[in-house]
Structure 1
Amino acid sequence: MDFYLKGVSFLSGFAMMAMEIAIGRLIFPYLGSSLPVWGILISWVLLSASSGYAFGGKISSRNGNLNILSSFLLLASLFSFLLPLVGHHALSMAIKILFNKNFFEAFAGIFLMALITGLPVFSLGVTIPIVIRLLTQEVTNAGKTAGTIQAIATAGSILGTLVPSFWSIQSIGTKWTFIMIAFLLGFAGITGFIRYSKKFIAGFAVILPLAALSGYHPKNKTFPFIRGKILFHDETLYHSVFVVRKDNGLIELKVDEGFTIQSVYHPVEFISFGSWPYLSSSFFLRNTFEVPKHILVIGLAGGTVAKQIKDSMPNVIVKGVEIDGKLIQLGRKFMGLPDSVKIEEKDGRVYLSSTDEKFDTIILDAYQGPYPPFHLLTKEFFTIVRDHLEPDGIVAVNMIRWKNEESLSNAAGCTLKQVFKYVFKIDVPFSINTIFYASMQSIGFKQMNNSKDSLEKFAERNLKNIIPFNEQCKKLILTDDCAPVEYLTHKIFFSALF
């Protein structure tokens, strides 16, 4: 009896934390992985768990027995199994409706998702007080028993944090992580019924549908912002990744909610739209007529920028930094990323801080879904960038805006002005992007190729439109200590919605 009950407390702690991480992976493709989203998720899990603890304390005092314990384990098992099946459709519906500005129906979808995520955690919370009640023989031992069970549950939580983080989500995916949790909880619940109360029919009533449906995958699974034929879809350590072919032959690399495009590729046509050519051609703005020798791209993704540079300047050494190794593989396979591009699978700041290399141009195009990583936009980071540039080197930074909502891009521009002598910008036409160019020397277009290729023609035609960044900077400086990038990004979202 003691071994079983202590095992249940360990499993409850394991399942609660594993479920929290898996829920995060389920919702981040739709709501993003910003600090506020994490804060709301953790708060909701804690609220659900504390409600379960309170409810479990009440029923354990009145009728705490193995039947009740096993029943809540099976309920948690059932809800855990339903989460990936119901959650995707609820979130898809909510996001699609939200962008159509039907806020009531969108709220209904988010409420459904909140309910289905809270119920399994609530059920697990109920089990801990019941276990403590069943193990407490005397009042004098109550404190020792409660402390022991909490310690065991915490040990389970530690394992429940590590298993999905380092193994299950990467190896078997989010859906099967939930199903794994469901089967473990279902097995524990059935064991309680069979071994101690012999009432196993209710247990099989839950576990058999799980076994029957474990291989089910919705055939009509939709993604609100994915248009075209999906060539590849999988989860990585950092993203849910899509490779999509459009009707015109264009191939897009998208991550998470699919609202933005990380990389594009066409086997024949030059990519002349979006932010990519403005970033690729940034080396033409250096204060020299010499061809660049060494260019760094931070946030390589599928390699659109790196490929355009190599197509224009085959002899230039182009190095890419990309934290997600799967994006590198997809770039090689689908996006025409040349083998000659050297790639570091690291965080951009970590890489720059660990190398003494100097670059003629550094291109910063790193995003976590719709959010630029805050530590790649601070005064301290731009100082590191400046120290890794040649004297006439230039940095190009890709930012986002929405019409007149430019708080985020202005903050980046003001921070660049703290470090670099010259800062220019251009709003990319028909886009939400603003590109900043910063250098310690003057900035302007310089012709380098005798036979102008597509990239140089683009640069000569479009980079003449760059303008000095003259924003009045007051409290817009981003630092490692204070960089409200998520808040400023959310201002863009709300501006687009309202």
Structure 2
Amino acid sequence: MTGLAPTLPATRPYALAAAAFSAGWSLMMMEILGARLMAPHFGYSVYQWGAIIGVVMTFMAAGYWTGGQLGDGPRAVPALRWALLAGTLAAALTPWLGKPMLADAAARLNAADGAVIGAALILGVPSFALAMVSPICAGLSALSGAAAAGRIYAVGTVGSIGGTFFASFYAIPQVGVSAGYAMAAVLPALACAFVPGGKRMAAAAALGVPLAWAAGYGEGREFAVYRETPHNTVMVREDDREIRLHLNVLWATQSRLRKDGTPTGLYYDLFPAAPALTGGTESGGKRVLVLGLAGGAAAKGILEAWPGADVLGVELDPAVVEVARSHFDLRPEVRVAVDDARRHVETSTEQHDVVIVDLYSTAIIPFFTATREFFEAVERRVAPGGIMLMNVASPQDRDTLVGPLAATQGAVFPSVFLADAGRGNYLLIATKEKRTLDDVRVRLENAPPQVAYAAHRVLDDLTVADTAGHPVLTDDRSDIDLRSLAALYGR
């Protein structure tokens, strides 16, 4: 091939560059946005990301092949217009159609299979259509062979880089997911206008931009706080009785505050009993580290029960800390480190009598905060006579998740105990020194009156954790994502 098709003269190479750039930009934006759209249904597990990347690459391969078949023939220019239009419409309609389709997939399928099907539903069409663009542009280029392919694919890759950073660092945290899809629709619509015969099609495609933007209109109105951040969708619901914090999903409550001051009935009501389990510490068990501060329910309960306690909360998302201060009465004496929990325990030099581990990302424990290496770092932060207490949500299948976590902690701590916190939550209690079950029971039975409720709740079903036959999770090998899905969904 020695020149451009007659319908796209060589004097307009910018049309090809614009098409390739916009296709790469839009597709990568939709991949990042799609992960956020899927998170309420399938979490941020390795299975979700594997499903997204695998589905996108599968449909891109089909798109590359089809674009290559069309790029050298008379249908190249019409195909280019239609590919850009399809990408624009996919971006415009996904905020409207994606949510119900993903909800239906989540209801019908297990979490792992649902993630694959869900990714195909929202990313299959744009991945196929926009992948067609670069080979078509290479075929229409005035250059030939490797030179055409190399330059076109380089421009498309630059667009992909831009779309990735734009979606991650601006669109999601600043304007939200629906508006992000609207922005993803802009460039392919504009690029279509540069393709010969594409102006009318581009004008029609441009109508999809406000359509996508409108999908987010009024979103969050039923919440006291609704905020997109780089880490979470932060949602606060408030009624006459209580205030609840939800991160990414509404079916999981990260913090609950009763306005009348009564117990919430959730697992963090039990955290005030933790200092009573410490022994031989000069501070009387009142140095507490909370990994996963959220709305501060654990910190608040401990301070109320143990006046003068030195509580340090670690929270990754500064927006969550702001909400904890503004809506959940997080007291000013609670010190807060905005940091990653693992990085904190690996770099801090402080020691604490109690370390509370309550770390979740969209209802799933991040794998790197549930490995032997992580617990070794936590153990170094536990003072002599101290304990680590970890919340584990496993409502459908306790042993599939609690067992390996107990075994992993048992590889680091000399004693590990298990208490049923109710509603599918369990507390793993690991001690710095060797302890017996009777010793732990006696400490709880002799707990001060202000923590009697929490202490007796822990005592109700306190046992030595069963670690036999369960794997020890490591940074190199951990299947906690799959185990978490089974523990949460039972399938």
- Normalising by the residue count of structure 1, what TM-score does the alignment of the two structures yield? 0.88
Matched, 1:76 2:87: yes
Distance 1:417 1:189 in 2: 61
Alignment check: 8 A CA contact 2:401 2:483 kept: yes
Structure 2 residue ranges without an equivalent (≥5)? 1-11
Q: What is the alpha-carbon root mean square deviation over aligned residues?
A: 2.7
The structural deviation recorded for 1:399 is: 0.8
* Deviations 1:160-187 (CA, angstroms, capped at 9, x unpaired): 2211122221111111111111011111
Contact 1:64 1:134 in 2 (8 A): no
Partner residue in 2 for 1:213? 211
Q: Does 1:181 align with 2:184?
A: yes
Q: Equivalent residue of 1:424, what SS?
A: strand
- In the TM superposition, residue 115 of structure 1 has moved relative to its aligned partner by 3.3
Aligned ranges 1:275-354 → 2 under 5 Å: 275-288=267-280, 291-354=284-347
Deviation at 1:425, TM superposition (A): 1.0
Post-superposition CA distance 1:90-116 (Å, at most 9, x none): 223444xx2xxx669xx9999587334
Separation (CA, whole Å) in 1 of partners of 2:327 and 2:230: 20
Q: Give the 3 Å change call, closer, same or farther, for CA 27–297 of structure 1 in structure 2.
A: same
Residue aligned with 2:312, SS: strand
Structure 1 residue 387 corresponds to structure 2 residue 384: no
What is the correspondence of 1:443-454 to structure 2 with a 5 Å cutoff?
443-444=440-441, 446=443, 452-453=449-450
Identity %: 26
The letter for the 2-side match of 1:258 is L
Q: Is this contact kept in 1: 2:273–2:447, CA < 8 A?
A: no
Q: Determine if contact 1:279/1:398 at 8 Å carries over to the other structure.
A: no
Corresponding pairs, count: 472
2:477 maps to 482
Distance 1:147 1:270, change over 3 A: same
Instruction: Determine the structure 1 residue equivalent to 2:403.
Output: 410
Residue 372 in 1 paired to residue 371 in 2?
no
- CA 1:404–1:160: 2 relative to 1, 3 Å: closer
* Pairs within 5 Å for 1:73-472: 73-95=84-106, 98=107, 114-137=120-143, 141-192=144-195, 196-197=196-197, 200-207=199-206, 209-210=207-208, 213-217=211-215, 230-246=223-239, 249-288=241-280, 291-402=284-395, 404-429=397-422, 431-441=423-433, 442=435, 443-444=440-441, 446=443, 452-453=449-450, 456-465=451-460, 467-472=462-467
Distance 1:69 1:36 in 2: 33
Q: Which residue of 1 aligns with 2:3?
A: none
**Shift in CA distance, 233/135, structure 1 to aligned 2, threshold 3 Å:** same
The one-letter code of the counterpart of 2:49 is W
Opposite residue 63 of structure 2, the aligned amino acid is: G
Q: How far off is 1:66 after superposition?
A: 3.3
CA deviations 1:234-274 (Å, max 9, x no partner) are: 2221222221124x511111122222111111222232512
Cα 1:108–1:42 change in 2 (3 A) is: closer
The answer to whether the 8 A contact 2:447-2:455 is kept is no
Decide which moves more: 53-62 or 438-447.
438-447
Q: Deviations over 1:105-150 (max 9, x none)?
A: xx9999587334211221111111110011145xxx3111111212
Query: How far apart are residue 450 of structure 1 and its match?
Result: 10
The aligned residue for residue 50 of structure 2 is: 39
Supply the distance in 2 between the matched residues of 1:72 and 1:460 (Cα, whole angstroms).
63
1:61 alignment partner, SS class: coil
1:11-41 deviation line (CA, Å, top 9, x unaligned): 2222221211111111112211100111011
The separation in 2 between residues aligned to 1:440 and 1:111, in whole angstroms, is 45
Question: Displacement, 1:480?
Answer: 1.3
Are the equivalent residues in 1 in contact too, given 2:403–2:470 (CA < 8 A)?
Answer: no
Distance 1:76 1:169 in 2: 19
> Match for 2:275: what amino acid?
F
The secondary structure found in structure 2 opposite 1:302 is: coil
Query: Which deviations, in whole Å up to 9, do the C-alpha atoms of 1:173-228 show, x marking residues without a partner?
Result: 11111111101111111232xxx34x533332232x32553542377979xxxxx9
Would you say the 8 A contact 1:445–1:460 is kept in 2? no
Aligned residue number for residue 10 of structure 1: 21
Contact 2:288/2:354 (<8 A) preserved: yes
Secondary structure of the equivalent of 2:449? coil
Amino acid at match of 1:61: D
1:180–1:470: structure 2 CA closer, same or farther, 3 Å change rule? closer
Query: How far apart are residue 319 of structure 1 and its match?
Result: 0.4
Change (3 A) 1:88 1:472: closer
Partners in 2 of 1:253 and 1:108 — Cα distance? 26
Distance change in 2, residues 1:109/1:481 (3 Å): closer
Whole-Å separation in 2 of the counterparts to 1:34 and 1:482: 15
